[in-house]
Structure 1
Amino acid sequence: MTDRKDQLAENLARVEERISTACAAAGRSREEVTLIVVTKTYPASDVRLLAELGVRHVAENRDQDAAPKAAQCSDLPLTWHFVGQLQTNKVRSVVNYADMVHSIDRNRLVTALSAAAVRAGRELGCLIQVALDAGTQERGERGGVAPGGVLALADAIAEAEGLRVAGLMTVAPLAGEFAGRPRAAFDRLMEIATDLRATHPAGNMVSAGMSADLEDAIGAGATHVRVGSAVLGVRPRLG
């Protein structure tokens, strides 16, 4: 366990140096960027070690893995982020542990989350997932709403009991005009974020950037970066 903790500490230090360097290059304070460690496929024991190392934000993308892991770590001072595509039949479970949901992309999900949050007596921060490659055949099941639908969805979240508009999330597109151009994609997301804040001033989170492109996201102005493999290592293959 000591070896694993040492490994995680070294990886965290390298990621921290990357974030600090990117902030300095962008003329930003290090405090402006929050690191979310994506712990998907890794055990609760790793989450505990990360908490010991000072990590306070962790993310999961599959409820069937996240729910038991969050329960095992319920004594830790962590903020849990749900970052995967969320089916409405998983909503009741997710609201029991997630503090933030990064993948809001349709009204039906807003309605289901609201009902579940009210039932659980919780308030969830909601980030709208923006599909910057909307309309391309290569999107598959990555989810997200087209940029033109963001403000209407934000209005629906704002009106829903138990939910609050927290901001925007995106994944660097694999297709379309921004394919292979993460910085341009994140710059576009920031433009959409500015429009969002005009009507929902508290929705100021911008979740963008992962292990491979966190520097581009920070340069564009992201407030949160979601880093998995750079901290935890190459993920085990899921069966």
Structure 2
Amino acid sequence: MSGPLFDRWSALKAELPATARLLAVSKGHPAEAIRELAESGQRHFGESRVQEALPKQDQLADLSLSWHFIGRLQSNKVRSVVRAFPVIHSVDSLPLAQRVSRIAGEEEQRPEVLLQVKLRPDTNKGGFLRDELLSAWPELAALPSMTVVGLMTMAPMGCEADDRQALFQECRELADQLELGECSMGMSGDWREAAAAGSTWLRLGSVLFGPRPSASPPAG
């Protein structure tokens, strides 16, 4: 294999610690790019919009891929997400977790779920506060038809590197306290800090695929 996408993928894979896996964030990119990466050996892909992901899944049904939902999970989208994604990275409240559990049971599915936590003030993001998660944990862990496997977090915009590192370390320690193996943290701009803190899923999009294709060519 050769080409810019393969070269970026190979370089990233070579840098990852043994404890971290690359989740290729393919939202905004065509099925052909996903197929190219899959032929290189990439198996895990992240999407954030069901309506965008489903046609890609159909086009790539001949491949053995694992699809992760990484977008904000709205309650009215839970059924379609549960049907299409075996891994969900963004369950951010107890009521939402209860809904996922109920609908997964109805659909005879058992998704792996990561609970989104908010460890810094951030008006743009949801998530469990630390004490809120610890209080709700017994109920969350007992929910049927889903398996809580880890935590997910994102650093606020403008967060400095040292605070990002501390935030990711706090998330890793909280996951360890709850005896959860997975931590989904780190994106294209901060994945090295997340990997050093113990992330097991690095959600990499632009650093891997490059800029998203424009919806239409520019005028002129």
Out of 51, 54, 67, the residue aligned to residue 64 of structure 1 is 51
1:156-196 per-residue CA deviation (whole Å, 9 max, x = no partner) reads 33222211111001112236xx6552111111111211221
2:61 alignment partner in structure 1: 74
- 1:230 is displaced (CA, Å) by 1.1
Structure 1 stretches of 5 or more lacking a match?
A: 24-29, 198-202
Distance 1:67 1:158 in 2: 29
Distance 2:139 2:63 in 1: 33
- Does residue 14 (structure 1) correspond to residue 1 (structure 2)? The answer is no
Distance 2:60 2:36 in 1: 11
- 1:17 aligned partner, one-letter code: A
Matches within 5 A, 1:80-91: 80-91=67-78
RMSD over aligned Cα atoms? 2.0
The number of residues matched between the two structures is 215
- The residue matched to 1:96 in structure 2 has which SS? helix
Distance 1:63 1:133 in 2: 28
Residues 105 and 153 of structure 1 are in contact (CA less than 8 Å); yes or no, is this contact kept in structure 2? no
Q: Percent identity?
A: 36
- The residue matched to 1:85 in structure 2 has which SS? coil
2:207 alignment partner in structure 1: 230
Distance 2:28 2:22 in 1: 18
- 2:38 aligned partner, one-letter code: A
Out of 144, 152, 166, the residue aligned to residue 184 of structure 1 is 166
- 1:213 aligned partner, one-letter code: D
- Does residue 193 (structure 1) correspond to residue 180 (structure 2)? The answer is no
Structure 2 stretches of 5 or more lacking a match?
A: none
Matches within 5 A, 1:58-207: 58-134=45-121, 136=122, 139-140=123-124, 142-174=125-157, 179-180=160-161, 181-197=163-179, 203-207=180-184
Distance 1:148 1:238 in 2: 42
Distance 1:117 1:74 in 2: 22
- 1:101 aligned partner, one-letter code: I
1:75-121 per-residue CA deviation (whole Å, 9 max, x = no partner) reads 32111111110011111111112111111111221122112211221
Distance 2:90 2:49 in 1: 12
- The residue matched to 1:65 in structure 2 has which SS? helix
- Does residue 217 (structure 1) correspond to residue 194 (structure 2)? The answer is yes
CA gap 1:14/1:96 in 2 versus in 1, 3 angstroms: same
- 1:238 is displaced (CA, Å) by 6.9
